[in-house]
Chain A
Amino acid sequence: MSTLSHRPASTEPMGAAQGNGAQGLVGLSAPRVDARAKATGEAKYAGDLQIPGLAYGKVLRSPYAHARIVRIDASRAQALPGVIAVLTGDDVLDINPYYGHAIKDRPLIAIDRVRFVGEPVAAVAAEDPQTAAEALELIEVEYEELPAAITLDAALAEDAPRLHVTELLKPGLFHGLGELKPQPGNICYHHAFARGDVEEAFAKADIVVEGEYHFPAVYQYSMEPHTTIAQWGDGEITVWSSCQHPFLVRAEIADLFGLPVANVRIVVPYLGGGFGSKSYTKLEPLTVALARKARRPVRIANTVDEAMVTTRRHGMKAWMRTAASADGRLLAREVRCWFDTGAYADNGPRVVATGADAAPGPYRWEAVKVDSWGVYTNTSPAGSYRAFGATHLQWIGEAQVDEIARRCGLDALQIRERNLLRPGEAVRPGGKPLDADLIGDIQKVAAALDWGTPKPANVGRGLSVGLLAAGAHPVSTAFARLEADGTATLYVSSTEVGQGVRTVFSQILATELALPVERVRVQGGDTLVTPYDRSTGASRSTTLAGLAVQRAGQELRAKLLEIAARVFGLPEEAIELRDGAVWHEGESISYPDLIRAHFGMVGGELIGRGEVRPEKGTGSYAEGPVFWEVCIGGAEVEVDPDTGKVTVRKAVSVADVGKAINPRLVKAQEMGGWLQGLGNALFEEMIYDEQTGQILNATLFDYHVPTIADLPASFVSTIVENEDGPGPYGAKGVGEGALAGATAAIVTALYDAGVRVTELPATPERVWRWLRERDSAAAGGAQSARE
């Protein structure tokens, strides 16, 4: 590989700064509070937990993409010594076993029908994993195969086999999609919007670019596969699970098993990555049902091939056309896209809607028309993966913008400067106006790419910019205890997936309380203990849960000032908080002394609460988003014309985060997101056999994720802090934008190098083919010019 020269990311101040004054720790790269536990192996993940009496669960999965279950005989498995329970569809008929936060279309275990290869058909709980695995072999299942629709085209065909009676499906608990209308055929969900007169705009356009594009199914590959432990006891359920959204899981489990939410407890240990793969409900219902039958706590731990069929990114087919005037004014865009949601909706409807939001791109249009569909197919279900929707569509729109630029003689930066939305302009009717300086951002990308300087042959440079509707629903709560010894404990349910929420929250609380960050401890998510948070995803934690944390800190601060005013006999304005004490001029009282004075004993504690809810309206997606996450990137690529191999020479990211509470963690998000974007752009793809629906590359031998050898030779990341976010200190979320920005920037850089990408990933074979197509078109063009 070529030399790695990444600009020092450590120019920011690091280290254990003291909280001094209002923004003491904000903007400092405090070390991660969980780093020591993770560097010593002490950090516990779901698979590391042991509880007394734990049994081991394994899942028998369907070998067919679509079949009727004629008969299941589990008697031999049940008789195997060491087997505690075998669960089949018959065991859940006393409850309504269908779940799905968007659409209740999925039984927690197959009930007389399977709809994808890998669907759970039976589950065994045994004294040890080997016995559970042996028992699976003894379960006899007789299937009657049904015609299957593996691909989008097959599922959309007139005579396609239908997966669901969509008219009968019930909405889930958290669909957030307005009114859900039953759809025809295999359509799971349809989201559409239009403004202006598209036909008229295209009729008057000088330039129209049009094409059909494909995006593959992608495996999130959080390195820790899904793992869940469930315990059933006396009207109470306890679940330890690698889940991002414990409160949404709690609600679905309570709903499925007919219990009040208070009787369901979800505990979340450290997560070995999530990236959306652990959003919403995954293994939990099945594990609870198995524990209910076994009357023992049970753990189910996915293997990688099982994780792959548990959730994935949506594959997508899109048609897009863009109109412009000869002088490079963008006029109109029309988009139709079909998202392959697999056999069950999971988060598909939200992906469909977010994709629609991302489709127009951040430009000023006279007219836009977008139709976005989710389609059921007989493949494993698709859900969330980092920057969904934006990653799907940004590369397409941006490639069309570049094609227009070329045809009207502008460069990629100029056409964007001319057409990008400005802060305050409407992104979509009725939604939040633009809250970012996109032109400033894209100029920074261009500068980092040495835009306009000469470049060698076969090298291309590309820019991309897009918007992602971020934040999900704006509801988060937190509370904090200031203990009698002057340390603070924070209770907040955001999941530590690796992004560093606990560190950022420690900084926020420490700042508000003027404490050193080491004096703050963060309690991990546990629905019995930590208060409600809507979810950990959509780049929302710093912005929304962080705001709740700040408000909890502010309430504590107010209490400290009130008590100090009483003790000093002074107005609150005369008092300040500094270094873990209240001060008036040169005189101070430490928090422990102040708390002692308040309670009249050594003990007691102060409590502060913070709540975030919609400030106006209902907080619905239609009124939102909470903020527009800027998805921006730049790339310099080199194409080998003989092999089609693409090398990324330079990676550029701009993190438009409003305020970087911990700049080092922001960069960590950018770098990690960028490399995932590189994988999505160049080689990651789940390949299904179009007849059988089997995944042909279901191991990490065959499914290639970026390794250290795939690193671009350099990485330049800039943080933009315009304090224009709705979060604490003007912050807004980060973490997803780099992925979508990188994927699209690699595509536009390839366009600059002469490769017109119409399908991802841009594998060497495809790139080689596109180069040949270009050359033969050029030859044909030259010929016709001669005639």
Chain B
Amino acid sequence: MIDRLDTRETESVPATGEAATTIRLETVVNGRPVSAEIEPRTLLLDFLRDRLGLTGAKRSCDVQVCGVCTVLLDGKPVSACSTLAYEAHGREVLTIEGLARFGELHPIQQAFMERTAIQCGFCTPGMILTTKALLDENPRPTREEIAAYLGGNLCRCTGYWMIIEAVEHAARLMAGEEDRS
């Protein structure tokens, strides 16, 4: 199984047989400080998935079009497939694994579940995190604003309608309106 990165770890085995220069990355992932030796070229997505075992962020297009690799960097969505891990240095990363607190789902997760905005689920972590960034910025977006903000997240399964419904539902849940169905 993947070794969870020990934050006390100071040594890191270079990825290839050749000795590669490494740099020290200090970051916070899902509220937990992380310190690691990485190759400068390491992508954030590989760091999260392969080093930290956080596989919720997925890989698909690899060219910043599809959004399945979305994580939040200081609260803003980034495509981890096209972001160097070192860009997270001194900043905070939130992945889907960090959204639920102590087993309690975030209202956006709740809303996606209740509104059937999930089919295969491959786009879901990215969709939910992008939605979080949206609703943190704009708690009551219009449908047009939702569509504009989620424009960089593809979903091949749902046809998006139920995702839009879920985002609206999440906005109401987060506003504390009694709207659970």
Contacts and interface: CB of A to CB of B under 8 A. Distances in A.
Interface in A302-334: 303-304
A453 interface: no
A30 to B, nearest CB: 10
A223 B58 contact: yes
A22 interface: no
30 contacts: A6-B161, A6-B165, A14-B114, A31-B114, A32-B113, A34-B121, A35-B112, A40-B105, A41-B56, A41-B96, A42-B56, A45-B58, A50-B2, A81-B18, A82-B16, A128-B15, A223-B155, A224-B122, A271-B120, A272-B121, A274-B120, A275-B156, A498-B157, A499-B119, A668-B116, A668-B157, A671-B160, A699-B61, A707-B154, A708-B164
Nearest to A6: B161
A10 B181 contact: yes
Contacts of B113: 31-32, 35-36, 39
A221 B156 CA distance: 7
Given A224-B58, A271-B120, A498-B120, A671 B158 contact: yes
A4 interface: yes
B80 interface: no
Interface in B96-126: 96-97, 99-100, 105, 109, 112-116, 118-125
A734 to B, nearest CB: 13
Given A15-B181, A39-B105, A134-B16, A223 B120 contact: yes
Contacts of A715: 159, 161
Contacts of A708: 146-147, 150-151, 153, 160, 163-164
Contact of A45 (B122, B147, B158, B160): B122
B55 to A, nearest CB: 4
Contacts of B56: 40-42
Interface stretch (A142-150, A206-214, A247-255, A672-680): A672-680
Interface of A: 1, 3-4, 6, 9-10, 14-15, 29, 31-32, 34-45, 47-48, 50, 52, 80-82, 128, 130-131, 134, 221-225, 270-275, 303-304, 497-500, 664-665, 668, 671-676, 699-701, 705-709, 711, 715
A500 B121 CA distance: 11
A607 B65 CA distance: 48
Given A131-B15, A672-B157, 9 more contacts: A6-B161, A50-B2, A224-B122, A272-B122, A274-B120, A275-B156, A499-B119, A707-B151, A708-B153
- A contacts with B: majority SS: loop
A307 B156 CA distance: 15
A80 B17 CA distance: 8
B54 A222 contact: no
Contact of B119 (A41, A130, A134, A500): A500
Given A3-B143, A50-B2, A39 B124 contact: yes
B15 A41 contact: no
B162 interface: yes
A303 B61 CA distance: 7
Nearest to A673: B159
Given A40-B97, A672-B157, A82 B121 contact: no
Nearest to A303: B62
Nearest to B99: A40
A711 B161 contact: yes
Contacts of B144: 1, 3-4
A35 B120 CA distance: 9
B156 A705 contact: yes
Contacts of B17: 80-82, 131
**Top-6 shortest CB links A-B:** A41-B56, A498-B120, A81-B17, A38-B121, A272-B122, A671-B159
Contacts of A130: 15-16
Nearest to A671: B159
A34 B157 CA distance: 15
Contacts of A43: 121
A303 B121 CA distance: 19
B66 interface: yes
Contacts of B120: 38, 222-224, 270-274, 497-498
A272 B127 CA distance: 14
A444 B98 CA distance: 46
Contacts of A675: 159-160
A415 B51 CA distance: 63
Contact of B55 (A35, A44, A709): A44
A469 B68 CA distance: 34
Interface in B32-58: 49, 53-58
A21 to B, nearest CB: 24
Contacts of B18: 81
Contacts of A664: 116
A271 B120 CA distance: 6
Contacts of B119: 273, 498-500, 668, 672
B59 interface: yes
Contacts of B15: 128, 130-131
A275 B159 CA distance: 14
B163 to A, nearest CB: 8
A82 B58 CA distance: 26
Nearest to A39: B109
A708 B155 CA distance: 8
A307 B15 CA distance: 26
A706 B2 CA distance: 36
A760 B166 CA distance: 33
Contacts of A52: 1
B27 interface: no
Contacts of B171: none
Given A1-B147, A672-B159, A699-B61, A50 B1 contact: yes
A535 B99 CA distance: 36
Contacts of B138: none
Contact of B109 (A9, A31, A40): A40
Contacts of B12: none
Most buried by A among B65, B116, B153: B116
B61 A38 contact: no
Contacts of A500: 119
B128 A39 contact: yes
Given A82-B16, A671-B159, A4 B147 contact: yes
A62 B53 CA distance: 34
Contacts of B99: 40
Nearest to A2: B144
A131 B124 CA distance: 31
Contacts of B163: 708
Contacts of A700: 60-61, 63, 65-66, 154
Given A39-B112, A498-B119, A700-B66, A48 B161 contact: no
Contacts of B49: 48
Nearest to B20: A130
A711 B95 contact: no
A671 B100 contact: no
Nearest to B106: A39
